[in-house]
A = this chain, B = another copy of it.
């Protein structure tokens, strides 16, 4: 296994029990040897569920199953394997999902549509679902607990160099609830073993439609704001389950309820934490990059500009090389296709203003920028001055640099 990312947090967080959630892991031997590769979560009866999935038109069989099952709005079990994505596997792949779902539904005595599945690993190889269904009964009987977070986060890893977890406490009208999640993904978004998966749980009681709306918005501010290498997985999946088994709290009826505000804020934080950890484990990443874009025509334009910068191979290699090559940021903004004004473009790195009036500032001093680039946390701010400087669109995106290790990992990955 590759050495731990230099951008990893010091440790996996201490995640308490989330009432109504039992979780655990096992080895079913799909691809890896000597490590867990199967995760199972059991949710209390009545648990509501929300989900967001990859936009790829080559979505995997598990993703298509989850999309359909989500219409029921309830979840009793989540089954996740690593080592094989069950993607681009045609009718046999669909049948494989069917058998896994049937086995779990039987085990938990629930309708099939309350079983959610996710798979991450190599594309195009048939999934030996027998290994999964054979391992499930014992895992359910002996492997689940209220404290299985770290084991679960470990089992869903592929090329990840560390396990990812996050937890926050939220207040709903004076009652405290917990939001906890795990994630995997190293390179947001690569198709083989770096799909982004995230499973978040709360003991709050929230109707499925409200949960879905909250998740979609939180996702737009977290997993939709990260990019490690600009590639998009066939399998990206985020599921949010609400058991309603925590302390009783005031009813949440609508997304806009005032007493739901803190929950949403904490959900945003859990998701942003997990998304940022995913970037910190970007394949070969040695620097974590935060890009703030302001002055765009709208927020969507700002996000696209941010991604154009953070995905530019020339910007990424300059950051890897600790080179204050701000001209490459100019280039990236220019190729974005969004409304921008060259003479109003303001670029700063590490808080140092670099450009003004369509050129470098006369007082620009590269020394503090060069010093900033030697660190692991890089901040770039760009105001694009759209609409005569009246543009109000803004966005923050996160990414990482492009290093030799990325090529080492990906040029020899399957072998």
Residues of A whose CB lies within 8 Å of any CB of B are: 54-59, 85, 87-93, 122-125, 190-192, 229-234, 312-314, 317-318, 320-321, 323, 325-328, 330-340, 342-343, 345, 355, 357-360, 402-404, 406-407, 410-415
Contacts and interface: CB of A to CB of B under 8 A. Distances in A.
A325 to B, nearest CB: 6
Contact of A191 (B234, B331, B407): B331
B124 A334 contact: no
A192 B314 contact: yes
Given A358-B88, A359-B92, A58 B410 contact: no
16 contacts: A57-B339, A58-B331, A58-B342, A87-B330, A123-B331, A124-B330, A190-B314, A190-B328, A191-B314, A191-B330, A192-B314, A192-B328, A232-B335, A317-B407, A321-B410, A325-B413
Nearest to A233: B331
Contacts of A412: 321, 323
Nearest to A415: B323
B334 A232 contact: yes
A308 to B, nearest CB: 10
Given A229-B313, A330-B58, A407 B414 contact: no
Contacts of A312: 230-231
Report the 4 A-B pairs with minimum CB-CB distance, sorted nearest first.
A123-B327, A58-B334, A321-B411, A90-B359
A88 B410 contact: no
Contacts of A413: 318, 321, 323, 325
A333 B58 contact: yes
A190 B190 CA distance: 24
A340 B340 CA distance: 32
Given A407-B407, A410-B321, A229 B314 contact: yes
A413 to B, nearest CB: 7
Contacts of A337: 55, 57
B331 A411 contact: no
Contacts of A410: 313-314, 317-318, 321
A343 B190 CA distance: 21
A231 B331 contact: yes
| Best-surrounded residue of A92, A191, A233, A318 (most CB of chain B within 10 A) | A191
Contacts of A331: 56, 58, 123, 190-192, 231-234
Nearest to A356: B90
A217 B320 CA distance: 39
A190 B403 CA distance: 17
B234 A124 contact: no
Contacts of A343: 90
Contacts of A360: 88, 124-125
A122 B325 CA distance: 9
A359 to B, nearest CB: 3
A354 to B, nearest CB: 9
